[in-house]
């Protein structure tokens, strides 16, 4: 018999994959239960509603991102930014999935305020983390900012990555995402 915590984690793992491939509207508790190997009624033990599941997914994404940014603080800004790009490559898989937060954007108006706030938190964590990386890179002379402040550059980077993920998903290959990273690195003059 599975321990509740392990089952909850497994539900979140499977749900995240489904959300990134199908969007939240493509996730049903029945299909999720089938994929996890539990009864649909057991889903309600862990999550009372799809909103509860959505918030748990975004909370988990926030914590994972915060931990990733914290682990990188001892590295150079260039390495930290490239590690951030690698998170997209490993966990989103440009050409295959979309960003977890982006999966909610297409159906934004139909999301509850609670879900919208949790998605905003994910974006905020990314914005803050990338801004800190850019600030350090500008201060240390590793990056060229072309007169732009770190916050604006972080916003541009995140917007570019999100757009490239969407295009790569439609094209079913990562070429657009790879090109996006090259342009960002060239603009910032990352040589490391």
Domains of the chain: 50-188 (1.10.357.10)
In this structure, how many other beta carbons lie within 10 angstroms of the beta carbon of residue 38? 17
Distance CA 192, CA 185 (A): 10
Distance CA 95, CA 137 (A): 29
pLDDT number for residue 19: 93
pLDDT number for residue 52: 97
Per-block average pLDDT, block size 10, for the chain (192 residues)? 71 94 91 96 95 97 94 93 90 80 88 96 96 97 96 97 89 88 95 67
pTM over 0.75: yes
pLDDT number for residue 91: 78
pLDDT number for residue 62: 95
pLDDT number for residue 15: 96
């Amino acid at each position: 018999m599975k321990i509740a915590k392990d089952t909850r984690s497994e539900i979140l793992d499977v749900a995240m994959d489904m959300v990134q491939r199908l969007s939240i509207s493509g996730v049903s508790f029945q299909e999720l239960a089938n994929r996890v190997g539990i009864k649909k009624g057991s889903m309600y033990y862990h999550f009372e509603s799809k909103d509860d599941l959505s918030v748990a997914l975004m909370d988990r994404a926030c914590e994972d991102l915060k931990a990733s940014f914290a682990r990188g603080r001892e590295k150079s800004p260039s390495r930290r930014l490239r590690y951030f790009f690698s998170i997209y490559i490993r966990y989103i898989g440009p050409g295959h999935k979309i960003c977890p937060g982006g999966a909610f954007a297409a159906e934004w108006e139909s999301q509850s305020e609670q879900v919208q706030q949790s998605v905003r938190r994910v974006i905020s964590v990314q914005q803050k983390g990338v801004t800190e990386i850019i600030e350090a890179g500008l201060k240390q002379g590793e990056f060229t900012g072309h007169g732009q402040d770190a916050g604006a550059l972080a916003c541009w980077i995140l917007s570019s990555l999100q757009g490239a993920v969407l295009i790569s998903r439609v094209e079913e290959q990562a070429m657009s995402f790879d090109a996006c990273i090259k342009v960002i690195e060239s603009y910032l003059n990352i040589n490391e």
